[in-house]
């Protein structure tokens, strides 16, 4: 048996929040390897997306919703990201969400975006 170290790879990433929502949508964009466009969704108290059919068409809110999320198109299909999660663009142009604590343990800042 031998020991291996993961090769250092520089990635692009953004933290999802209300303040970065529009920028995040532009960051993920449409198409690419992920194929698709990110969609905002309401989530329940377990962090699961709530079906659009459950919404009150005359209201901007949903009483069953506990928060918001963004459906991220990944190579494995749609994945839910919630505020505080990081969205990473991989080496092949793919996107995927990572929880904040895992991101902080795995990545370090190389350079601040201009």
Tell me the β-bridge partners of 71.
39, 80
Domain containing 45 equals: 14-106
Q: What is the CA radius of gyration of the chain?
A: 16
Within-domain flag for 5? no
At which residue do the structure tokens 């895992």 appear?
A: 102
Within-domain flag for 18? yes
Q: Which pLDDT tens digit goes with each residue over 62-81? A: 556 667 788 888 888 888 89
Within-domain flag for 33? yes
Within-domain flag for 1? no
Q: Which pLDDT tens digit goes with each residue over 84-114? A: 999 999 888 889 999 999 999 999 888 776 6
Greatest mean pLDDT among 32-41, 52-61, 64-73 lies in 64-73
CA distance 47 to 83: 11
Within-domain flag for 61? yes
0.75 exceeded by pTM: no
Within-domain flag for 2? no
Assess contact for 70 and 83: CB atoms under 8 A. Answer: no
**What DSSP element (H or E) covers 98?**
strand 95-98
Within-domain flag for 64? yes
Assess contact for 44 and 65: CB atoms under 8 A. Answer: yes
Number of domains in the chain: 1
């Amino acid at each position: 048996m031998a020991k291996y170290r993961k090769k250092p790879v520089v990635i692009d990433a953004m933290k999802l929040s209300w303040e970065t929502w529009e920028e995040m949508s532009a960051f993920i964009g449409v198409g690419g390897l992920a194929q698709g466009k990110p969609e905002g969704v309401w989530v329940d108290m377990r962090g699961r997306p709530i079906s659009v059919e459950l919404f009150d068409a005359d209201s901007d809110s949903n009483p069953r919703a506990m928060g918001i999320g963004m459906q991220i198109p990944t190579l494995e299909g749609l994945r839910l990201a919630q505020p505080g999660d990081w969205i990473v663009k991989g080496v092949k142009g793919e996107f995927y969400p990572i929880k904040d604590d895992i991101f902080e343990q795995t990545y370090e800042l190389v350079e601040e975006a201009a």
